[in-house]
A = this chain, B = another copy of it.
Amino acid sequence: MRRRPGGRSARVRRAVLAATIEELAEVGYGAFGFDGVARRAGVHRTTLYRRWRSREDLLVDAIAEYAQVAVPIPDTGSVRDDLLRYATSIVRSVAQPTIRAVVAAYVAEADHNPELAEAVRRYWADRRRLARAMVDRAIERGELPASADADRVFDHVLGPIYLRLLVTREPLAEAELARIVDSALAAARTPSAPGTA
């Protein structure tokens, strides 16, 4: 017998990762540490040190957990509806204190931890790749010109949402999402520079 991935080890891992995001959401990244996580998970502190080297290691795994509950890519037959549902999912996701805390934490710390930065990079590369399907299908249906840039749409749908919810911390009603989506679509239909060349 070499390893023992099942049973207790798996339970401990799940309990610790759940406790990690709960602790993050409650006390914030500043006052976040192994001691609090261990108490919350009902696990001894030493166990954490044997599995994770630092807080950032815990964060990396927490991001992996966050990636599991990935936002679904809708397929309604209409780009506008697809993007609207997608945007709504994003807003409700970031509105959750736990997910909000995870994002806030890696924003604060990714510059100082290469592994964390790499985990974030992979996560968003996947998100961008999956979201591309909505624009691709719209082009096939003729709703958008072939020149429509999926990354551009992505930036203009998620950009305002994260700006308002995380950076400027202004309220963002779900009713405003329609205007954001319409703006992104207007941008997707605009070939290049309209004002000047």
With the chains together, A158 CA to B78 CA distance in Å?
A: 27
Most buried by B among A27, A78, A159, A178: A159
Question: What is the interface of chain A mostly: helix, strand, loop, or mixed?
Answer: helix
Interface size for A (C-beta < 8 A) is: 62
Residues of B within 8 A of A80 (CB): 193, 195-196
Q: Is the CB of B190 within 8 A of A194?
A: no
Residues of B within 8 A of A196 (CB): 78, 80-81
Q: Is the CB of A108 within 8 A of B110?
A: no
Q: A190-B182, A196-B80 are in contact. Are A29 and B163 (CB under 8 A)?
A: no
Residues of B within 8 A of A166 (CB): 107, 166-167
Q: Is the CB of B167 within 8 A of A103?
A: yes
With the chains together, A143 CA to B195 CA distance in Å?
A: 9
Q: A103-B167, A187-B183, A196-B80 are in contact. Are A108 and B156 (CB under 8 A)?
A: no
With the chains together, A190 CA to B128 CA distance in Å?
A: 26
Please tell me if A185 contacts chain B, counting CB pairs below 8 Å.
yes
Q: Which of A10-18, A36-44, A64-72, A116-124 interfaces with chain B?
A: A116-124
